Amino acid sequence: EAGVAQSPRYKIIEKRQSVAFWCNPISGHATLYWYQQILGQGPKLLIQFQNNGVVDDSQLPKDRFSAERLKGVDSTLKIQPAKLEDSAVYLCASSLGNANEKLFFGSGTQLSVL
């Protein structure tokens, strides 16, 4: 079974530029999550989708971050404009359902903002 796919693997941008990350969850997984992991810390939830609807985006900095999952499968996370403090690994995870707690993670996109 294929795992959660993410791209790109690495991204380096300058502050105030924009960047987008892509995620393809495990086939059949209805719930998709984007987590931000700053170096030396545990992952922090940014947004959770159930199919193509947003379940929780309470910790998403909406003035600069946006995410969509239009067809309920793939998802993109965008940052515009980026700040230095956005440097982190952005992890995508998926699970079977909304209350199914076991999350499967992708390898993440490592973002460096200079």
CB of 81 to other proteins, least distance (A): 26
**Binding flag, residue 16, other proteins (CB under 8 A):** no
> At a CB cut-off of 8 Å and minimum separation 6, what does 89 contact?
36, 37, 39, 108, 109, 110, 111
Taking the CA atoms of residue 33, residue 61, residue 43 and residue 47 in that order, the dihedral angle to the nearest 10 degrees is -10
Of 14 and 85, the one with the shorter C-beta distance to other proteins is 85
Q: Which of residues 54-83 bind other proteins (CB under 8 A)?
A: 55-56
Question: Which member of 45, 68, 74, 76 binds other proteins (CB under 8 A)?
Answer: 45
DSSP 52: T
Largest CA distance in the chain: 39
Q: Which stretches of the chain bind other proteins, using CB under 8 A?
A: 4, 31, 40-45, 48, 55-56, 91, 93, 95, 97-108
